[in-house]
């Protein structure tokens, strides 16, 4: 005989219960202070990614079959809000937000099984190999070649401005398999072992004095044909997917991050007795409006992905909006601090360890990386607003 207990519906967790459970996990398992030593820091980040994965808290938008959470749109927003609030380390490498959506969409089942879970768990660090010395925003002009020899491609060329390449285990690269004149029609998407013979990585120092980028030299690097994603010469279509998802994922992350950063800037203005200044208050109010718009636009982009599977050209709107915002925010911060803003983290008298001048310097390149602001404006004009197409640009 069945009882009322037998037929009782399972308890469904509410959004706020999910938020509380996630917040409790992030608090209880917080990895602690970020190590200064680079080797220790990487091990610390990897341990954290493994902790998240093993507990079922990794990959909020990923399918469950590849280790993700497959969260609803609303819960992805909650996840990003709580993750940034907790001040825990983000993923090392650029694979999660860029390569993974491409592999999930275009990869074979064998490729998905081989690459996705180790990437999500942090066992393997992935880095992007797109830009070249003479092919950044003009990406379809890239010159790195891949010549087919039997069941391998032989890759030769150079990549530059590669984030995380110095610690990467795997590179996802665009290479030219067509003629130099083939432009976007002769590009192929390859996954390259970063430790393979012929791969050389050299760090590049930026304005802040730190090393955030590298250049990669590829000399007769042999890549199995089985490590090609999609068809030969169809890499441009895959790259557009990668870049669209990069901007979409970045939009939500940045919206949550800059919600916290702006709150901290407002607190700093109050601490220094500047919150009553009419000009300061006006600028802070403008930033408040822009942070809220950033969040709304990011939510719209994520909803577009869940509905259509792709972020679409509107992702360029988020990218352009965020890069100009973070430049304006840090420029205002150093103006507000005056001469005190000139002290860097090495100076014991630096305000908040020089974070604002460091942010000011590092965001100077924001409107260049991941597609210049000019490229974003072109995309918005042509593909969002429907203005005439620039014949020099690929369709």
Q: 124, 177, 128, 125: which is closest to 154 by C-alpha?
A: 177
What would you measure as the largest C-alpha separation in the chain, in angstroms?
A: 80
Structural contact between residues 294 and 336, judged by C-beta atoms closer than 8 angstroms: no
Checking 177-186 for CB contacts under 8 A at 24+ apart, the result is 177/145, 177/146, 177/147, 177/148, 177/153, 177/232, 177/233, 178/233, 180/143, 182/233, 183/140, 183/141, 183/394, 184/140, 184/236, 184/394, 185/233, 185/236, 186/233
CB contact burial 154-180 (16+ within 10 A = b; e otherwise): bbbbbbbbbebbbbbbbbbbbbbbbee
Contact 122, 45 (CB under 8 A): yes
| Three-class SS state of 13 | coil
Are the C-beta atoms of residues 214 and 73 closer than 8 Å to each other?
no
Nearest-CA neighbor of 108 among 194, 231, 193?
A: 231
Rounded to whole angstroms, the Cα distance separating 91 from 84 reads 12
Q: Is residue 294 within a helix (H) or strand (E), and if so which, with residue range?
A: helix 278-308
Q: Quick count: other Cβ atoms within 10 Å of Cβ 374?
A: 12
Q: Which two tokens stand for residue 310?
A: 């792709």
- CA dist list (Å): 156 to 123, 197, 214: 27, 12, 17
Is 155:146 a contact under the CB 8 Å cutoff? Answer: yes
Query: Helix, strand, coil shares of the chain as percentages rounded to 5?
Result: 55, 15, 30
Radius of gyration of the chain (CA): 22
Decide if 246 is catalytic. Answer: yes
**Choice among 82, 132, 246, 326 that is catalytic:** 246
Active-site annotation, residues: 246
């Amino acid at each position: 005989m069945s009882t009322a207990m037998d037929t009782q519906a399972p308890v469904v967790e509410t959004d706020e219960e999910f938020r509380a459970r996630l917040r409790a996990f992030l608090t209880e398992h917080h990895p602690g202070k970020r190590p200064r030593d680079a080797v220790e820091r990487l091990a610390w980040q990897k341990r954290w990614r493994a902790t998240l994965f093993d507990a079922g808290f990794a990959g909020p938008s990923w399918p469950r079959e590849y280790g993700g959470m497959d969260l609803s749109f609303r819960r992805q927003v909650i996840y990003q809000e709580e993750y940034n609030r907790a001040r825990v380390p983000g993923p090392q490498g650029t694979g999660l937000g860029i390569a993974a959506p491409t592999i999930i969409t275009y990869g074979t089942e064998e490729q998905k099984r081989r690459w996705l879970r180790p990437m999500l768990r942090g066992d393997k660090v992935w880095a992007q190999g797109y830009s070249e010395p003479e092919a950044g925003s003009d990406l379809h002009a890239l010159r790195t070649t891949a010549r087919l020899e039997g069941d391998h491609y032989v890759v030769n060329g150079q990549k530059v401005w590669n984030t995380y390449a110095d610690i990467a285990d795997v590179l996802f690269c665009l290479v030219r398999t067509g003629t130099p004149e083939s432009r976007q029609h002769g590009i192929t998407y390859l996954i390259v072992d970063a430790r393979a013979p012929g791969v050389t990585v050299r760090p590049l120092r930026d304005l802040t004095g730190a090393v955030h980028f590298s250049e990669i030299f590829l000399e007769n690097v042999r890549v199995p044909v089985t490590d090609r994603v999609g068809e030969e010469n169809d890499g441009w279509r895959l790259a557009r997917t990668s870049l669209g998802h990069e901007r979409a994922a970045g939009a939500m992350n940045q919206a949550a991050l800059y919600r916290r950063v702006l709150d901290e800037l407002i607190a700093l203005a109050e601490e220094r007795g500047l919150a009553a200044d009419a000009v300061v208050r006006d600028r802070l109010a403008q930033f408040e409006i822009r942070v809220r718009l950033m969040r709304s636009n990011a939510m719209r982009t994520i909803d577009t992905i869940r509905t259509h599977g792709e972020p679409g050209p509107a992702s360029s709107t988020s990218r352009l909006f965020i890069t100009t915002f973070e430049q304006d925010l840090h420029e205002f911060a150093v103006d507000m601090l005056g001469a005190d803003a000139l002290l860097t983290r090495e100076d014991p008298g630096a305000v908040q360890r020089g974070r604002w001048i460091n942010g000011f310097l590092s965001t100077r390149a924001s409107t260049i990386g991941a597609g210049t602001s000019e490229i974003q404006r072109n995309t918005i004009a042509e593909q969002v607003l429907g203005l005439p197409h620039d014949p020099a640009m690929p369709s």
